[in-house]
């Protein structure tokens, strides 16, 4: 099964057998499930429960989703365990900068199966204290255009010729997100997975190079940055954090780096490939709205 071929409608209720039919894979019961399609494209299923603290308003507004607890229970009260930035939590955090398709399902206590609620994107996250322990809380938002309410435009179209029929909503939304992921991947390749700030290259446990994509002007509300190469930087995890926390300022003209506390990179120039144009306006937005020193 290829991700772009998936066609489910918001409101559709899926049983375990339906999951296998639509996605080729079944549900294991975790709240955050990381999946790959036959071409290796990553995607995520999120399961929100009707009861308990997941009782969010899963409407068209932003909502909060609590991360997953560490595995290997056995402690008396698992609630005392701090959540970790691993597995599902790490996948959601990474999706802020490198979006992957995220399918939201809603499990009601009264009825069997899981109801598909549309695709969502991760806007931001917080690591916060909750009843004596730390949890991850993700701010999610429905992906624009993946709503169950047809727009007036779509209604108009239906009255005209159906020769050039648009692909179903899920398919076009998935395609858009997959395209954006490809963009970040391509840029990482151009930099050979080296950080544009320090030039370092990290490696995964399998030896493959690792880098992170950062949107200079963040995606989603309230920033509404664009998903284009000129708004993306390739960074190591440390300098990615520095950008997120506003510890790095970039001169939009000279691309000189001004770091709040790291003298090793302070005053050096941001590494840029000839074919990678960086949008000056995005850099200004970062300096004015995100930098905090």
Q: Which residue ranges make up the site for Zn ion (CB under 5 A)?
A: 195, 197-198, 236, 239
Residue 262 CB, nearest approach to Zn ion (Å): 9
Residue 237 CB, nearest approach to Zn ion (Å): 8
Residue 218 CB, nearest approach to Zn ion (Å): 19
User: Per this entry, what is the length of the chain?
Assistant: 293
Residue 281 CB, nearest approach to Zn ion (Å): 24
Distances from the Cα of 203 to the Cα of 18, 135, 145, 192, 272, angstroms: 38, 28, 37, 12, 21
Residue 270 CB, nearest approach to Zn ion (Å): 11
Q: Do 50 and 107 touch, CB atoms closer than 8 A?
A: yes
Question: CB 9: neighbour CB atoms within 10 A?
Answer: 11
Residue 267 CB, nearest approach to Zn ion (Å): 15
95 or 195, CB closer to Zn ion? 195
119 or 233, CB closer to Zn ion? 233
Q: Which residue has the tokens 């990615």?
A: 240
Residue 238 CB, nearest approach to Zn ion (Å): 6
Residue with nearest beta carbon to Zn ion: 195
- Sequence-distant (6+) residues with CB within 8 A of 59 are none
82 or 201, CB closer to Zn ion? 201
134 or 210, CB closer to Zn ion? 210
12 or 266, CB closer to Zn ion? 266
262 or 280, CB closer to Zn ion? 262
198 or 260, CB closer to Zn ion? 198
């Amino acid at each position: 099964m290829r991700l772009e071929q998936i066609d489910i409608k918001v409101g559709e209720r899926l049983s375990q057998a339906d999951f296998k039919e639509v996605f080729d894979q079944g549900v294991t019961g975790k709240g955050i499930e990381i999946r790959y399609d036959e071409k290796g494209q990553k995607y995520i299923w999120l399961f929100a429960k009707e009861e308990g603290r997941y009782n969010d308003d899963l409407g068209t507004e932003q909502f909060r989703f609590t991360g997953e607890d560490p595995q290997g229970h056995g402690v008396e009260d698992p609630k005392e365990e701090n959540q970790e930035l691993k597995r599902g939590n790490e996948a959601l955090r990474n999706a802020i900068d490198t979006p992957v398709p995220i399918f939201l399902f809603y499990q009601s206590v009264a009825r069997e199966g899981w109801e598909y609620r549309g695709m969502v994107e991760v806007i931001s996250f917080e690591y916060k204290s909750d009843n004596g322990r730390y949890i991850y809380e993700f701010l999610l938002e429905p992906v624009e255009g993946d709503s169950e309410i047809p727009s007036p435009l779509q209604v108009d179209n239906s009255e005209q010729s159906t020769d050039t029929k648009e692909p179903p909503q899920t398919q076009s939304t998935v395609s858009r997100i997959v395209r954006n992921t490809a963009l970040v991947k391509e840029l990482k390749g151009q930099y050979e997975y080296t950080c544009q700030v320090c030039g370092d290259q990290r490696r995964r446990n399998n030896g493959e190079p690792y880098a992170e994509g950062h949107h200079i002007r963040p995606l989603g509300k309230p920033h509404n940055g664009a998903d284009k190469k000129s708004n993306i930087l390739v960074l190591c995890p440390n300098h990615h954090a520095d950008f997120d926390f506003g510890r790095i300022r970039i001169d939009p003209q000279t691309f000189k780096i001004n770091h709040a506390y790291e003298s090793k990179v302070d005053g050096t120039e941001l590494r840029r490939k000839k074919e990678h144009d960086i949008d000056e306006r995005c850099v200004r937005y970062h300096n004015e709205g995100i930098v905090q020193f």
